[in-house]
Chains A and B, each alone.
Chain A
């Protein structure tokens, strides 16, 4: 193998390792929060009948005018939640908050007016990608498996509590989908389909 080819393979292996660094670091050092979810939309263009989950506490926490403005300008929205299980809403703002020890912050984006959700809503996007303004919905679960209320476990990550930098989410929780993950026990099951 020529030196150039060895270098190329080395770069490819490095790239493959690099993808793992960020999520594993977040899982190792982040703060876990548990957020109740609700079904937002049953379809994905590429995946078919899948459920997009939105966080229940993220709905209607912004005034309509601010939600529209933030959506138009792509302004990041900082939602502070408690670390209890399930998490409760603490505060929302457009600046990184000062966090107390039992709080965590998730960076999201206001959806503003969207096509099939009539209300103004803030859906916290999946904040797993390194950029703080990642837009994709939080999690997906195969449609036929949507039988129970699902709690998402997010792993929030900041360089230090005073200067929040980023947020990252971890696993989708469901007793049907991945039994090894935790599920909020007292929640009453509800049929969605």
Chain B
């Protein structure tokens, strides 16, 4: 079938003389009454989710402003009541047929569980790297996501999983109470983020085989692609940045993550659903690149430059591979991420080289022209590719 708006189809048929103007009007009216447009539904969903998040933030602020005046048991009771109220409202909305609003309220219920966990953590002075908090919140999120087949819950699950994994085992720095060390320290997740992204893609390909979990596939593939591409593109800024991002201590936790991630990739290559053998090959190549990157940290500063140049080239090729894979798999989000990554690599390289080789004013003028030309070309290509997907 052609992917075309109903109004455009009616116009086409009217112009071709297949239906007259009155009939076209009747058909349009029937569609309005019996099949409301998806865009308005999506709008309702976005607005209601945004509303749910605002209510959640408001609840936390309300509780926080009265926090010191409440006893521990009253605080816990208040949080429980808030959860019960949200669940009741979600159920009521569902029964009245407001499915999208009910969906948003179920999401709010899951956010309330998270707020509850961390406010209880505050009551009892839990550690600020309280990894059990995001972990059990993750379980609660996955349970609700599974029950509702909710992509929103699948989306929330990934930062929670990263937080639980990062905080697991604690850290070593005092500054910021170790909370950010899990992400920025060389013993934390920082050098492993692209690998974790690949593992997430592997999980997504595996869960696609499970009908009840298929709802999460697209969301997790996009998350995985972002986790791979963002650190890699950032690492192309400079060889110092590359060095900083790949510096790894090889702690036992990091080795466990590496082994587990490659295990998942192997399992996905064996059992996962790929659109073509080339997609499988792309995954092997990315896994190889990421494995090689783990050992770049040991390279001496002086001999890093050629490795950096090769790295930039590989990241660019990987971005093109991501675009191709997005087209093959019919996933516009992957095309967008790939286009964004490729464009970022080109721009980063342009500015880093032009500033060295050209007069500054000339660099900016040429840079501006290049930017405009590049954006026109990218937008054309992106539209062409997306049209190919939706055709």
Contact = CB atoms under 8 A, between A and B. Distances in A.
Interface stretch (A58-66, A79-87, A136-144, A156-164): A136-144
B113 A12 contact: yes
Given A19-B117, A136-B128, A8 B170 contact: no
Nearest to B120: A19
A172 interface: yes
B116 interface: yes
A45 B143 CA distance: 33
Interface string B141-155: 001101110000000
A192 interface: no
A115 B133 CA distance: 28
Interface stretch (A95-103, A127-135, A182-190): A127-135
A171 B139 CA distance: 29
B143 A11 contact: yes
A131 to B, nearest CB: 7
Interface residues on A, range: 35 or more
Interface residues of B, number: 44
B63 interface: no
Given A15-B117, A74-B170, A44 B177 contact: yes
Contacts of B124: 23, 128, 170
A12 B178 contact: no
Contacts, number: 119
A113 to B, nearest CB: 10
Interface string B117-161: 100110011111111110011011001101110000000000000
A46 B147 contact: no
B160 to A, nearest CB: 12
A41 B173 CA distance: 14
B83 interface: yes
Contacts of A9: 87, 109, 144
B80 interface: yes
A166 interface: no
B125 A128 contact: yes
B353 to A, nearest CB: 36
A126 B80 contact: no
A5 interface: yes
Interface string A1-39: 110110111011101101110010000000000000000
Interface in B48-78: 76
B172 A12 contact: no
B175 interface: yes
A46 B176 contact: yes
Contact of A15 (B128, B136, B147, B179): B136
Contacts of B80: 16
A117 to B, nearest CB: 8
A127 to B, nearest CB: 8
Contacts of B140: 11-12, 15
B113 A15 contact: yes
B147 A129 contact: no
B79 to A, nearest CB: 8
B147 A45 contact: no
A71 B171 CA distance: 10
Contact of B174 (A11, A19, A23, A115): A115
A149 interface: no
Given A19-B120, A131-B170, A136-B127, A5 B180 contact: no
A138 B177 CA distance: 11
Interface of B: 76, 79-80, 83, 87, 91, 94, 109-110, 113, 116-117, 120-121, 124-133, 136-137, 139-140, 143-144, 146-148, 169-172, 174-180
30 contacts: A1-B94, A2-B147, A7-B143, A8-B147, A8-B148, A11-B139, A11-B143, A15-B136, A16-B79, A16-B113, A16-B116, A18-B136, A19-B116, A46-B176, A71-B172, A74-B170, A109-B170, A111-B174, A117-B174, A125-B127, A126-B125, A126-B127, A128-B126, A129-B126, A129-B132, A131-B169, A135-B127, A135-B178, A137-B174, A172-B125
Given A136-B129, A138-B125, 12 more contacts: A4-B146, A8-B143, A12-B113, A16-B116, A19-B120, A19-B133, A19-B136, A44-B176, A45-B175, A74-B169, A109-B170, A134-B170
